[in-house]
Structure 1
Amino acid sequence: MDLSASPQTPAARAPRQDGQATRQQILETAGQLFAEQGYANTTSKQICENSKANNASVNYHFENKDGLYRAVLREAHDRLLRIETMITLSQSQDRAEDKLRAIVTVLIEGLANQREGWALKVLTRELLSPSSVLPEVLEEQAFPKAQIVRNILGQIMQLPPDDPATLRSAVSVFAPCLFLLIAHEPLTRHVLPGLALDPPALIEHMMSYALAGLAAVSRASTPV
């Protein structure tokens, strides 16, 4: 048997490993440029020069600039809160309140951990100035996550996930996270100096506020 052709040999694995490293280098470089300059102002030439990759490599891994930007947005969503994480949490045997706490914890800690990276900046830019790829990324990333959240909130309030009260409650519970994503830096600098993104304290505050609000909405929505 000719073992040199085996897919398990280092020689066979090396090209795949090198290709993955190249892909990740391009992705990281593009993420930083998109975060600093925005999608429209970032050129494929800049990405190639900064990542030390040629245009053929970009096209091979991402098809084109749109494909690369789409991959960057997906990666940014994953770094903040992976859909796989939410699915695992939602399918656990924990109480609905504990599932909500787990999701809020992952999200708030993600905001804190990614504060210095490019992921939050890319997402903020995209929310404030949407690109043509946003609808596809929302359908793939945001909508499934929103459905999981609505299911959990519906369980807490004993209401259907598509009940108007459940939908409004989802906005009320997670709007602060969106606000922190977009406005935390200017807010703490100009409006509320001294407001710190302290994950444990913020998680406790959000959960206390959310559970009290959900209980009130549930009572108001329950027929007498």
Structure 2
Amino acid sequence: METDETTRPPARARAPRTPRTDGDATRARIIEAAGHLIGDKGFAETTSKAIAAKAEVDIASINYHFGSRDGLYDAVLVEAHRRLISVTELDVIVNAPEPPQARLRKLLELILSRAMGERSWNAHVLARELLSPSSHLDVLFAEEIPPKFRLMARLLSEITGFPTGDPRLLRCAISVGAPCAVLFVAGRISNPMTEKIMQVAPDAVLDHLYTFAIGGLEAIKREYAS
């Protein structure tokens, strides 16, 4: 005899599965180990064997989580850029209830604190990649830079009056960001000039770069308004 649907006992609900976190922890540990080694010796001189030993995993774990040594380096670059400034941090600054000029100063202050502060592995990795760019740099332009540029362009749009999507905003972003990139590289190269740069008080560097950036943005705004 068939049982009527209305008389069937309710199906027993399954308890939700607890997501596994051990895999994520292993992946993060591998990135951390690779970041330290690559920042110190460079990607070409860092073997998968050395990374596995430092992360206390086997080489198969690297291939499992990243596909290859190249895939791991891509992940290291992405993580290094996120530690420079994350999309979340940038979003908070851009959407703060302050004048755009004040928000730009806060952005420069954050980046300079990481460029001139204690040198973590992400700064060394990014500096190496900037000094000797490789094809792996493409991963940043595919994953990290576009959403950050869109936020940066919104901020620069408020300062200059240029509409979002205007190609002039890209040039403005390069002009504002390039000096910060130079400071990352300067911190990696040891010579009398770079040592003098890194010895300047961070507040003095911030004042200079902010004044320089605002002066340039306002000049560009006036030029196109005339």
**Cross-structure match for 1:104:** 108
Which string of whole-angstrom CA distances, capped at 9 and with x for unpartnered residues, describes residues 16-40 of structure 1?
Answer: 4443433222111111121122222
Identity %: 36
Q: 1:21–1:176: structure 2 CA closer, same or farther, 3 Å change rule? A: same
| Equivalent position to 2:126, from 123, 127, 141 | 123
Q: Give the Cα–Cα distance (whole angstroms) in 1 for the partners of residues 32 and 89 of structure 2.
A: 22
Q: Give the Cα–Cα distance (whole angstroms) in 2 for the partners of residues 109 and 94 of structure 1.
A: 21
Q: Give the Cα–Cα distance (whole angstroms) in 1 for the partners of residues 221 and 89 of structure 2.
A: 27
| Equivalent position to 1:59, from 60, 63, 70 | 63
**Contact 2:186–2:194 at 8 Å: present in 1 too?**
no
| Equivalent position to 1:191, from 190, 193, 197 | 193
Q: 1:185–1:63: structure 2 CA closer, same or farther, 3 Å change rule? A: closer
Q: Give the Cα–Cα distance (whole angstroms) in 2 for the partners of residues 118 and 185 of structure 1.
A: 11
**Cross-structure match for 2:214:** 211
| Equivalent position to 2:179, from 176, 180, 185 | 176
- Asked whether 1:42 is paired with 2:65, we answer no
One-letter code aligned to 2:50: Q
Q: Give the Cα–Cα distance (whole angstroms) in 2 for the partners of residues 186 and 33 of structure 1.
A: 17
Which string of whole-angstrom CA distances, capped at 9 and with x for unpartnered residues, describes residues 77-120 of structure 1?
Answer: 1111111211232233322112212211211112133x422111
**Contact 2:116–2:184 at 8 Å: present in 1 too?**
no
Q: Give the Cα–Cα distance (whole angstroms) in 2 for the partners of residues 219 and 147 of structure 1.
A: 23
Which string of whole-angstrom CA distances, capped at 9 and with x for unpartnered residues, describes residues 124-182 of structure 1?
Answer: 12222233332122221123222322221121111224445433322222211011111
**Contact 1:112–1:197 at 8 Å: present in 2 too?**
no
Q: 1:70–1:192: structure 2 CA closer, same or farther, 3 Å change rule? A: closer
- Asked whether 1:89 is paired with 2:132, we answer no
Q: 1:165–1:71: structure 2 CA closer, same or farther, 3 Å change rule? A: closer
Q: Give the Cα–Cα distance (whole angstroms) in 1 for the partners of residues 16 and 223 of structure 2.
A: 66
**Contact 1:89–1:102 at 8 Å: present in 2 too?**
yes
Q: TM-score, normalized by length of structure 2?
A: 0.81
| Equivalent position to 2:142, from 139, 143, 151 | 139
One-letter code aligned to 1:194: K
Q: 1:69–1:186: structure 2 CA closer, same or farther, 3 Å change rule? A: closer
Q: Give the Cα–Cα distance (whole angstroms) in 2 for the partners of residues 62 and 150 of structure 1.
A: 32
Q: CA RMSD in A?
A: 2.4
Q: TM-score, normalized by length of structure 1?
A: 0.82
Q: 1:89–1:197: structure 2 CA closer, same or farther, 3 Å change rule? A: same
One-letter code aligned to 1:28: E
**Cross-structure match for 1:222:** 225
Structure of greater Rg: 2
Q: Give the Cα–Cα distance (whole angstroms) in 2 for the partners of residues 140 and 87 of structure 1.
A: 16
Q: Give the Cα–Cα distance (whole angstroms) in 1 for the partners of residues 154 and 101 of structure 2.
A: 12
* SS of equivalent to 2:96: coil
